[in-house]
Structure 1
Amino acid sequence: MPARIPSWAWVSGLTASAVVAVAVLAVQADQGPHPAATAAHAKSSARASAHPSAAPRRTAPPALPSASGTGRRIVYALGSKRVWLVDESGTPTRTFPVWPGTVGPDPGPYKVSLRRESTTGSDGVQIEHIVYFAAKSGLSVAFSNAVDGASPAPAAPGKQTAGIRMGKEDGAALWTFGSVATKVVVVK
């Protein structure tokens, strides 16, 4: 009659096999692709690292359009749907994307004519930091942001809107920068 293997031997053998299998899988996983670190982990790793290459690369913001005037001004590029806030020396201090309405201003120079802290937009959305600078097709053209920070939904077919929306932080920055009589230059 064959000898019976004690249960502790079976458990020891299975445990040893499991440890070997996990070690093999760990080696294989270390050689494969690695997921990107979370933002919090990346920030703490970048701070802890003495190597500047550990920081993520950032692309340079789009250049200020040529022929956009001189001096302190707000520049709005119709084609790229972007705004630049430019200081007295002609240096952009901030740039950001915008969501234009269905009616836009013609290229050219303007001035901020009116500011309104908050209201309801023609699309029914609560907006704030409204900076008016032009009129077209019977509509007032203005920069603003939604109070909830959301981007606007596309206008309903046949509906005309002239608001140029932006993110909440960008709206606050433009509001601070764009006092009445501030130059606004619209380029293609």
Structure 2
Amino acid sequence: MGPGVVVTGLTLGALAVVSLLAFQANGAQDRAGGAKPTVTTTATGTATAAAPSATPTPVAPPLPATSGTGTRVVYSIGSHYVWLVDPKKSPQVAAAFQVVPGSVEPTPGSYAVYSRTPTGTGADGRQIEHVVRFAQQNGVVFGFGAAVDGAMPTADPKAKTGGIRSGRAEGQLLWDFAPKDTKVVVVA
């Protein structure tokens, strides 16, 4: 095999890789744009984040009355919903969306975001992004994050995990809304 054949093979391989990456990148903007939830308001004045789809999106429960005041992320253990609340805006609820809890729930109370990681690996081995941590209790770290593959499986009850999973678009919303020191209120 001559050097020309090797160079041609390498060139064709490189072109295939570049073509694949260009193909993936071509749709990435549409996927990212199309995946962003829109904010709608319910009859009670509560805003909800709704991902565009052919099926109706469930209406979020109203913001719990015991969720505190000020700019905050509210997580309900009972309904497994998250609300992003900014009292300076109208409506105050910037977004609300359903999440899947880890196998362990945090104790109700007020916390603050203490750590953020753009990407990592979840306890289930999946690649995750937009990780926003707010509490540690009995060796379990609690935080929000989204699986890169979009999966939101139920947590393995045998593993002690405090990761609260959202969809990717909702994970992006939470990441943008909750920098370090943002209040997180956990309600029953």
After TM superposition, the runs of 4+ consecutive aligned structure 1 residues lying more than 2 A away are: 56-61
Partner of 1:167: 167
What amino acid is aligned across from residue 150 of structure 2 in structure 1? G
CA RMSD of aligned residues (A): 1.9
Match of 2:84 in 1: 85
Give the superposition deviation at 1:58. 7.5
C-alpha distance in 2 between matches for 1:81 and 1:125? 21
Aligned to 1:139: 140
Maintained 8 Å contact 2:118/2:129: yes
Q: Which has the larger radius of gyration?
A: 1
Contact in 1 for aligned 2:145/2:171 (Cα 8 Å): yes
SS in 2 for 1:99: coil
Aligned-residue offset at 1:161: 1.1
How many Å apart are 1:63 and its aligned residue? 0.7
Partners of 2:116 and 2:144 in 1: how far apart?
Answer: 10
Residue of structure 1 in register with 2:96 after alignment: 95
- CA shift, 1:74, in A, is 0.2
Q: How does 1:64-143 map to 2 (within 5 A)?
A: 64-89=63-88, 91-143=92-144
Is the contact between residue 104 and residue 136 of structure 1 (CA under 8 Å) also seen in structure 2? no
CA distance in 1, matches of 2:164, 2:56: 30
Distance in 1 between the 2:59 and 2:125 partners?
Answer: 36
CA spacing shift, 1:95–1:138, aligned 2, 3 Å: same
TM-score of the superposed pair, with normalisation by structure 2: 0.66
In 2, the alpha carbon distance for the partners of 1:181 and 1:136 equals 18
Structure 1: tracts of 5 or more residues without a match = 1-55
Question: How far, CA to CA, are the matches of 1:57 and 1:126 in structure 2?
Answer: 29
**Aligned partners of 1:58 and 1:139: how far apart in 2?**
32
Question: What is the letter of the counterpart of residue 81 of structure 1?
Answer: H
Is 1:181 paired with 2:170? no
Q: Secondary structure at the match of 1:135?
A: strand
- Residue identity opposite 1:103 in structure 2: V
1:62 CA drift (Å): 1.6
What secondary structure sits across from 1:169 in the alignment?
helix
Q: What residue is the counterpart of 1:158 in the other structure?
A: 158
C-alpha distance 80-57 of structure 1, shift in aligned 2 (>3 A) = closer
> Aligned to 2:173, what secondary structure does the other structure show?
helix
Distance 1:126 1:64, change over 3 A: same
